[in-house]
Amino acid sequence: MEALKSVLVPIHREGHPFIMIFAVVSLGLGAMWEPLGWLGAIATCWCVYFFRDPDRIVPDKEGLVVSPGDGVVQMIEKAPPPPELDMGDEPLTRISIFLNVFNVHVNRVPIAGKITKLYYHAGKFFNASLDKASVDNERQVAVVTTKDKKDVIFVQIAGLIARRIVCDLKENQSVATGERFGLIRFGSRADVYLPKGVSPSVVVGQIAVGGETVLADLKSKSAAAKGNKI
């Protein structure tokens, strides 16, 4: 039974229409020429895989900032907060996580608190791995304020082939660490801006797991993880 559960991963509701479209098109292609049908079946299986929504074991220690998505920690650098938030231009530590088309794309809230700001920016669709994607690309910005009055900014950024950002959050909503809040289709990036004085617990090149990998500890005074140059 446990082995079966590991295979039959839940599918996010946003994926159901796409899976149906892929399946119908595959049947049509198969009716035209069988090899095309098999290619369509492979594409349908990939679509199911893309929209998988596995459960995660979220660390319950207070003050931990977890990764909002699965992917590679691509950049850790100092950058001013997104300008639309009007939170000044003092640089904060920004952790950028790149999600490729094979990663889980369901996004999770990085830390418990209250959503105090939301802003959607209709931008361009550069490759999400580029530094300018944080400024130029379509994005959904959110700020969660912890009970200790610390602001953690997290951003969903559309990529080269991503064409829709889904965010179910609302202002003044109370959220839990690791709570699901949306996704991005297909291939994207997630940025997290840490409060001033907080050091990252991850390094560039590290594989992050959404809702599980600890990006930082707001209550720790430790230096940045070895290997970071910020």
Could you say which of 2.40.128, 2.70.70, 2.40.50, 2.40.240 is the CATH number of the domain covering 64-215? 2.70.70
- List, in order, residues 6 or more apart from 197 with CB less than 8 Å away: none
Quick one: how far is CA 54 from the chain centroid?
14
Query: Which of left, alpha, beta for 2 (phi over 0: left; psi -120 to 50: alpha)?
Result: alpha
In the chain, domain spans: 2-50, 64-215
Global pTM reads 0.84
What is the spatial distance between Cα 155 and Cα 2, in angstroms, rounded to a whole number? 35
Q: What is the pLDDT of residue 48?
A: 86
188 as an active site residue: the answer is yes
pLDDT at position 194: 97
Query: What pLDDT score does 3 carry?
Result: 42
Least confident of 37-41, 83-87, 176-180, 219-223: 219-223
CA triple 208-209-214, angle to 5 deg: 70
Single out the residue of 226, 197, 171, 188 nearest to residue 90, CA to CA.
Answer: 197
Residue of 67, 96, 188, 201 with catalytic role: 188
Beta strands in the chain (DSSP E): 64-66, 71-79, 92-99, 106-108, 113-121, 139-145, 151-158, 164-167, 174-175, 180-185, 188-193, 207-208, 214-217
Query: How confident is the model over 26-77, as pLDDT tens digits?
Result: 888 888 888 888 998 998 888 888 788 999 999 989 999 999 999 999 999 9
The pLDDT of residue 6 is above 50: no
User: Which range is least confidently modeled, 74-83, 129-138, 161-170?
Assistant: 129-138
DSSP structure class, residue 75:
E
- Structure-model confidence comparison of residues 13 and 5, the more confident one: 13
Label residue 186 by pLDDT band (50, 70, 90).
Answer: low
Average pLDDT over residues 185-206: 91
Instruction: Give 104-164 as a DSSP string.
Output: --EEE-SSSEEEEEEEEE--B---TTSTTHHHHB-EEEEEEE-TTS-EEEEEEEE-SS--E
